[in-house]
Amino acid sequence: MKADFHHATLASLAYNSPTKKVNDELIALGYEEIRFIDIDGAQVYLVSNKDHTTIAFRGTEVTQFSDVVADLKAWKTRSKVSGKVHDGFYDEVEKVWKSIIFELSTMHKGKSLSICGHSLGAAMATICAARLSKAGYKLVLYTYGSPRVGNRTFVKSIGCCHHRWVNNNDAVTKVPMAIMFFRHHGKLHYLNHFGLVRNGLSPWQRFKDSWRGRVAAWKKREPFDGARDHSIGKYVTAIGKPENDIGEDHKTTN
């Protein structure tokens, strides 16, 4: 299984609380140890096998008041790495940070490491990756539908490989606005309106594809397709298409 699809699947599973069905799916993905942290509305899975550990953060749940508040707290606070980050995202990571470090100390022990998440979970994953990279961990970050997380100084301080996926008109990837001095990090992987990987498009090509998506939505009497394009299910389905086989798996170490 390709690494990007694998981690998109994990980011999707992170929206579920532990059940036998979820555990069975994680075991089928190759994980033997499963830990779930749930503190004051912030949730994250740590899953591991003899060779590898993955940290998968849960994204925004509109029914979870703390998630909505976290998304709205768009002022900046000083990060623990360098520069400044979105205050709401920072607070969500802080809720689970000590537990993550404890679990890593007991289950990781020199294995390769990856971190993933969708939406709010992608933002949390980015902050976590920045901290662990600074602490000396070698890791790869996979995010799907991520908002901008911090300022330019923070982004430049992130010392890991980052595969950042954006699906067509996904509205969350456009906030907080760049005019507020928030910036994106990572290598962009762009999914066009047809769900195909189209990296390296010019601004004009991106503009045309954006309107292609909007017109298709209007024909279906959907006035706004930015929320639909944000669905983690859309990411999993598109990345898993055979025609999106992007070749050799991304390595799970720097």
Q: Residues of the chain with pLDDT > 70: what percent?
A: 91
Q: Is residue 249 part of a domain?
A: no
Task: Report which of residues 153 and 223 the model is more confident about.
Answer: 153
- Asked whether the predicted pLDDT for residue 252 surpasses 60, the reply is no
Q: Is residue 207 part of a domain?
A: yes
The kind and range of the H/E element at 115 are strand 112-118
Q: Is residue 252 part of a domain?
A: no
* Per-residue CA distances from 53 to 110, 173, 190, 247 (Å): 9, 27, 26, 23
Mean per-residue pLDDT, 225-252 = 80
Q: Is residue 98 part of a domain?
A: yes
Q: Is residue 254 part of a domain?
A: no
Q: Is residue 250 part of a domain?
A: no
Q: Kindly report, residue by residue over 67-91, the tens digit of the pLDDT.
A: 545 666 677 899 999 999 999 999 9
Q: How many domains does the chain have?
A: 1
- Choice among 92-106, 141-155, 211-225 with the minimum mean pLDDT: 211-225
- Supply the CATH number for residue 144's domain: 3.40.50.1820
Q: Which residue has the tokens 């606005």?
A: 177
Angle at 80 between CA 49 and CA 97, to 5 degrees: 40
* Per-residue CA distances from 72 to 68, 89, 120, 191 (Å): 6, 10, 11, 27
Mean per-residue pLDDT, 171-189 = 94
List, in order, residues 6 or more apart from 51 with CB less than 8 Å away: 111, 112
DSSP letters spanning 153-195: HHHHH--SEEEEEEETT-GGGG-S-GGGT-B--SEEEEE-TTS
pLDDT of residue 174: 93
Whose CA is closest to 200, among 161, 246, 238?
Answer: 246
Q: Is residue 76 part of a domain?
A: yes
Give the confidence band of 110 by pLDDT, cuts at 50, 70, 90: confident
Q: Is residue 85 part of a domain?
A: yes
Q: Residue 134's domain spans which residues?
A: 3-244
